Amino acid sequence: MKYCSTRNSKLDKSFDQIIIEGLSSDGGLFMPKKWPLINTNEIFNNKNITYPELASIILKEFVGDTISKNDLEKITQETYQVFTNDKVAPLIKISDNKFILELFHGPTFAFKDYPLQLLGNLFQYYLKNKNKNITIIGATSGDTGSAAIDACKDKDNINIFILHPKDKTSEIQRKQMTTIRTNNVFNIAIDGTFDDCQNIVKSLLVSKDLKKITELSAVNSINWARIASQSVYFFWSYIQSAQYDKKVNFIVPTGNFGNVYAAHISGLMGLPINKLYVATNSNDIMHRTISNGDMSLKDVKSTISPSMDIQISSNFERQLFESLDYDSDKLTTLMENFRKNRSYNLKGKILDNLKLFYKSKGINDKLTSQTIKKFYDDFKYISDPHTATSLNILDELNNDDINIALACAHPAKFPDSIKDSINILPDQPKKLKDLLALEEKYRDLNNDVNVVKNYIIDNIKKL
Ligand SMILES: *Cc1c(COP(=O)(O)O)cnc(C)c1O
């Protein structure tokens, strides 16, 4: 399997190169040069298949010959052992054809654990073999940071710097990051939004000054390894529903467009998907884009689902590249126009192509909160506010397909919003309760690439 960039379709890189580089030096995102077809008969007929086994079958297609089948099986076994549910990602039945896929049974209680625990182990595998060290730089709207830090905190050959928008994550989300005290972990609070953090990270990843002193890598969903490993749970949920004569719809709470794009590639690899529903909060650029082509940036609003408070959905570039028939020149022109005008109007063939795969809805805080209450009243199901955006759509659907809404975070990560909606506090797992007493450590920095760059240069540990 070889990879190109959305900004240069002639590149020809292998998985071990693109997982470490994270972002292509031309500013584009890595993409596989062809879509592997998964032998769905085989995995659907295997009644005893486990999550780690499924993960190694799917990921083998993407890692190619950079990891042997045996080693990959070992890595996925080890990775998913730390998850606390025996199904790893259990499918909860709400009615005959409506389900919730719970993706919060990992160490930091959000779906990012599923790709990032694996990424940490893959990094370690490749670095050990090459005898190298790397510095990971990431931006977080709340959940990526803690999941990445947990996955890397004990790895010898990794330094990790995580930027979060100051005061814009929940208190628990922040404490999950800032109370980890191993000496390879650095938290930075940026005086700005998630998009500001993500822009700084994208500049740093291609910075020559930094590259002179360290190898750099990314843990945001701009890293293809994340998208590839997230595709596993879409297959997994369909296997758990065990209704192979039916098509499936997924409803995905969306910010950076990573999770819903992972759903989409599962379809390209053979999962019988009918439609993907993109659920946004009031930061609804993806809803406007898909419903009428209006890809225009607005100011980021703070909502009760902070991990979706994003305007520039990086992974949408991958979808656009695909919709433009993998023409990197056309994509580069489009992205330059978008960047310059902060707006782009999609029409004609591209918009038709998007509508083939996606539907969308924007769900504001009031509706989100009403949905938390409705699912508690109707099913005694307590959902976090991100999950509630997808449940709002799940509730409305009326079809003969299988419908699966993604539960992306544990409700206990957002106790205040739950209390406001149903007037009770969700049960707090012990690990989250214990956080409150721990001491925090992070650095406040201005929204300025050079300031952050200098901080990293001053603090990189010689590993
Ligand atoms: C990251 C995150 C999202 C958004 O996912 P994307 O892949 O960025 O679209 C939604 N909900 C939760 C809880 C998250 O942590």
User: Ligand 1 centroid to 24 CA: how many Å?
Assistant: 23
Give the residue among 315, 324, 285 at the shortest CA–CA distance from 29. Answer: 315
List strands edge to edge, sheet with 134-139.
215-218, 134-139, 158-165, 185-190, 443-445
**Cα separation of 105 and 89, whole Å?**
7
Tell how far the Cα of 37 is from the centroid of ligand 1, in angstroms. 26
Q: For residue range 13-64, what is the model confidence (pLDDT) as tens digits?
A: 999 999 999 999 999 999 999 999 999 999 999 999 999 999 999 999 999 9
221 CA closest ligand 1 atom index: 7
**Tell me, what DSSP letter sits at residue 108?**
T
Pocket of ligand 1 (CB under 6 A): 110, 112, 143, 221, 253-259, 307-308, 386, 408-409
Residue type, 360: S
230 CA: nearest ligand 1 atom: 7
Domain extent, residue 368, equals: 86-109+224-422
Alpha carbon separation from 38 to 61, 65, 79 (Å, rounded): 8, 17, 22
45 CA from centroid of ligand 1 (Å): 31
What confidence tens digit (pLDDT) does each residue in 423-436 have?
999 999 999 999 98
Give CA–CA dist 104/90, Å, rounded.
10
Q: Residues 356, 358, 362, 368: what is their CA dihedral angle, to the nearest 10 degrees?
A: 140
Tell whether 263 is covered by a domain: yes
* Residue 242 neighbours by CB distance under 10 Å: 10
Q: Which two tokens stand for residue 13?
A: 């890189």
Q: Using the 8-state DSSP alphabet, how is residue 311 labeled?
A: S
Give the closest residue to 226 by CA, choosing from 132, 151, 304. 151
CB atoms within 10 A of CB 123: 23
Q: What does the pLDDT read at residue 181?
A: 87
d(CA 210, CA 458): 11
Run of H or E including 172: helix 171-178
Residue 78 lies in a domain: no
Mean pLDDT score of the chain: 95
Residue 5 domain flag: no
Closest alpha carbon to 278 in 293, 299, 264, 298: 264
pLDDT at 51: 98
> Contact, 20 vs 134, CB < 8 A?
yes
- Whether 318 is covered by a domain: the verdict is yes
Which residues belong to the active site?
112
Phi/psi at 339 (nearest 5 deg)?
-65, -45
Using a cut of 0.75, tell me whether the model's pTM lies above it.
yes
Nearest CA to ligand 1 atom 2: 307
**Which pLDDT belongs to residue 133?**
87
Give a yes or no: residue 238 inside a domain: yes
In a domain? residue 251? yes
pLDDT at position 156 over 70:
yes
Q: Are strands 134-139 and 158-165 parallel, antiparallel or unpaired?
A: parallel
Any idea what the CATH number is for the domain that residue 365 is in? 3.40.50.1100
Residue with tokens 């500001």: 196
**272 phi/psi in degrees, rounded to 5:** -75, 75
User: How confident is the model at residue 433, as a pLDDT?
Assistant: 92
Gap between the terminal Cα atoms of the chain: 32
pLDDT, residue 463, reads 61
β-sheet bridge partners, residue 217: 136
C-alpha of residue 254 to centroid of ligand 1, in Å: 6
Strands 443-445 and 185-190: parallel
Structural domain contains residue 203: no
Using one digit for the tens of pLDDT, what is the confidence trace for 309-360? 998 899 999 999 999 999 999 999 999 999 999 999 999 999 999 999 999 9
Q: Report the domain count for the chain.
A: 1
In a domain, 228, yes or no: yes
408, 410, 414, 418: which to mutate for ligand 1, most atoms within 8 A of CB?
Answer: 408
**Phi, psi (rounded to 5 degrees) for 303:** -125, 180
φ/ψ of 14, rounded to 5, equals: -100, 170
When pLDDT is cut at 50, 70 and 90, the band that residue 462 belongs to is: low
Q: What is the model's pLDDT at position 149?
A: 97
pLDDT in tens, 171-226: 999 999 999 989 999 999 999 999 999 999 999 998 999 999 999 998 988 999 99
Spatial separation of the C-alpha atoms in residues 455 and 209, rounded to whole Å = 13
Categorize the per-residue pLDDT at 393 as very low, low, confident or very high, splitting at 50, 70 and 90: very high
Are residues 225 and 64 in contact, defined by beta-carbon separation less than 8 angstroms? no
The answer to whether 311 and 338 are in contact (CB under 8 A) is no
Helix 285-292 crosses helix 348-357 at what angle (to 10 degrees)? Answer: 110
